[in-house]
């Protein structure tokens, strides 16, 4: 009898897990059968959604371009997971299907934490999903706001503020953050980001907390009011409660606790990957939500399952970071080289070279998820871009 692997979610982590599992099934002939469940029949390059919001791209691709013909695709929304019965209820139109699994890969990702303050869900736009990015682009075109405020000074907020300011020079763009802008960057990296924001005319308010979002302004915790015709909410992410509801052991944010092979600590027949997983880095800290971690998590989970089905002990080597890549509009960027624990090093790339580097990284991420040979093409992109970075660093030394 075939071993039924059910993968929930076709983001970077889920799609990489499904593809890798199908690869193992072809090579081993073990009878592993892979089914992928996703709300749509498309893959969204989430790291490009700030471009979509600025009216500069689509970031959407048919899943058929990425999936092996052996992988079954069920288009529908996951309504519940019964970890004891090993079943998942999926709504497809007016019908609910119950799917059975022997092993589950849970990869349902994250969403914008719009419930963090009153009014954010009702009045703010978000970039955590395709619909939100498209809605933001439409609102900018139709409403022609005079003031546009991006809340959140992390990497996503930086990309959103600079992309929108460059694409739409009309509105006054403001970036509001509860801490410093680019808190995880080195002093040199942060200085470059601040110079770019100033050059683009983006006003920055650091160490400022938002208490509420209204249709035409923000209320701050200190009582001040900031005019904002259109607010973009990037202050944190949240995950679906389905993992916790299924009885999986989760952290305080609802992310499932996993071991070094991405397997749930409470349910050995469930692997959790991507933003929904609380996985530990080499230093014991939780890996941050990112495409950079989602892709290797998905691959690692599929490799671990294949090893266990073959009677081998899977690899549990902790993941390490290489860099943080930030686009600052289409002609500038920042590549912050980091240590394995994600702490910033001294070396950075900036300007057009950094913009090209970031584009190659993004292209390679999707290139590695496309059809046969995608991994080879992605490796070629990465090799060229890293070679250029090494040449730059040697000149700068």
Mean pLDDT, residues 261-278: 97
Per-residue pLDDT at 332 exceeds 90: yes
pLDDT band at 31 (very low <50, low <70, confident <90, very high): confident
CA distance 392 to 397: 9
Q: What Rg do the C-alpha atoms of the chain give, in angstroms? A: 21
Mean pLDDT, residues 364-373: 78
* Residue 50 · residue 133 · CB < 8 Å: yes
- Angle 372-42-319 from CA coordinates, rounded to 5°: 65
Mean pLDDT, residues 153-171: 95
Per-residue pLDDT at 375 exceeds 80: no
What the block records as the tokens of 184 is 């995880």
Question: Using the 8-state DSSP alphabet, how is residue 314 labeled?
Answer: P
Helix (H, G, I), strand (E, B) or coil at 173: strand
- HSE-CB for 175 with a 13 A CA cutoff: 29
Q: What is the pLDDT of residue 190?
A: 97
* Residue 34 · residue 70 · CB < 8 Å: yes
Closest CA to 105 of 40, 31, 36: 36
* Residue 151 · residue 218 · CB < 8 Å: yes
Q: How many CB atoms lie within 10 A of CB 317?
A: 10
Per-residue pLDDT at 154 exceeds 50: yes
Mean residue pLDDT of the chain comes to 91
Percent of the chain residues past pLDDT 90, beyond the cut: 81
Q: What b/e sequence results for 30-50 when a residue is b if at least 16 CB atoms lie within 10 Å of its CB, and e otherwise? A: eebbbbbbbeeebbbbbbbbb
Length in residues, the chain: 397
């Amino acid at each position: 009898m075939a071993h039924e692997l059910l993968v929930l979610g076709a983001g970077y982590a889920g799609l990489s897990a499904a593809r890798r599992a199908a690869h193992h099934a072809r090579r081993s002939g073990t009878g592993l059968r892979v089914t992928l469940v996703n709300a749509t029949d498309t893959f969204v390059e989430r790291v490009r959604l700030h471009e979509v919001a600025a009216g500069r791209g689509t970031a959407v691709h048919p899943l058929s371009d990425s999936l092996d013909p052996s992988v079954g695709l069920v288009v529908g929304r996951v309504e519940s997971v019964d970890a004891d019965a090993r079943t998942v209820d999926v709504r497809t139109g007016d019908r609910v299907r119950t799917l059975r699994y022997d092993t589950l890969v849970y990869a349902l990702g994250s969403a914008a934490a719009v419930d963090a303050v009153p009014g954010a869900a009702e009045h703010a736009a978000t970039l955590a999903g395709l619909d939100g990015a498209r809605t933001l682009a439409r609102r900018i075109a139709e409403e022609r706001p005079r003031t546009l405020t991006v809340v959140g000074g992390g990497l996503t907020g930086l990309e959103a503020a600079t992309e929108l300011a460059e694409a739409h020079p009309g509105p006054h763009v403001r970036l509001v953050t509860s801490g410093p802008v680019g808190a995880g960057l080195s002093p040199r990296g942060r200085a470059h980001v601040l110079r770019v924001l100033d050059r683009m005319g983006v006003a920055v308010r650091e160490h400022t907390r938002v208490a509420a979002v209204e249709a035409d302004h923000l209320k701050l915790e200190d009582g001040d009011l900031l005019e904002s015709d259109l607010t973009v909410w990037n202050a944190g992410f949240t995950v679906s409660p389905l993992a916790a509801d299924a009885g999986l052991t989760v952290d305080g944010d609802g992310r499932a606790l996993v071991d070094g092979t991405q397997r749930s600590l409470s349910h050995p027949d469930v692997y959790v990957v991507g933003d929904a997983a609380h996985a530990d880095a080499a230093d014991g800290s939780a890996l941050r939500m990112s495409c950079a971690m989602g892709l290797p998590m998905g691959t690692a989970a599929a490799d671990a399952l294949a090893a266990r089905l073959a009677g081998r002990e899977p690899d549990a080597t902790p993941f390490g970071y290489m860099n943080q890549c930030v686009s600052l509009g289409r002609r500038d960027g920042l590549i912050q080289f980091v240590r394995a624990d994600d702490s910033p090093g001294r070396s950075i790339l900036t300007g057009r070279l950094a913009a090209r580097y970031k584009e190659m990284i993004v292209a390679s991420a999707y290139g590695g998820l496309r059809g046969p040979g995608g991994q080879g093409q992605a490796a070629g992109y990465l090799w060229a871009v890293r070679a250029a970075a090494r040449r730059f660093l040697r000149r700068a030394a």
